[in-house]
Amino acid sequence: MTAFIAKLTIKPDMRAQFEAAQTELRTLTHKHEPNTPVYELLQSRDEPNVYFCVATFTDEAAFEYHMQTDFHDRLVPPIMDCLAGDMELSFYNVIGEK
């Protein structure tokens, strides 16, 4: 399995728009991507404009599929418009999974 963690710092006045788009992306990912067992958005308790998106994929093909879905293409540009700076994206291997 493979995973990513994205750190997203948003503009304070864009919080509602950001959360709405991310929530829709999460819902559609869970509904249409069985090979994406985890897709969650976390908000920092200390810095309310800092979020982390955590996703796991059964393999690289599942990640590629996620990146090419029509809803991903529709929702990511408005999400990116909410950012106060560059997204920090890191990839990981999931330990203990086959």
Could you tell me the pLDDT band of residue 98, with boundaries at 50, 70 and 90? low
Instruction: Give the N- to C-terminal CA distance of the chain in Å, as an integer.
Output: 7
Query: Please, are residues 4 and 93 in contact by the beta-carbon 8 Å criterion?
Result: no
Q: Model confidence over 16-43: pLDDT tens digits?
A: 999 999 999 999 999 999 999 999 999 9
Enter the pTM of the model.
Answer: 0.91
Helices (H), the chain: 15-32, 60-68, 70-81
Could you tell me the pLDDT band of residue 44, with boundaries at 50, 70 and 90? very high
Beta partners for 51?
8, 43
Q: Model confidence over 52-97: pLDDT tens digits?
A: 999 999 999 999 999 999 999 999 999 999 999 999 999 999 998 6
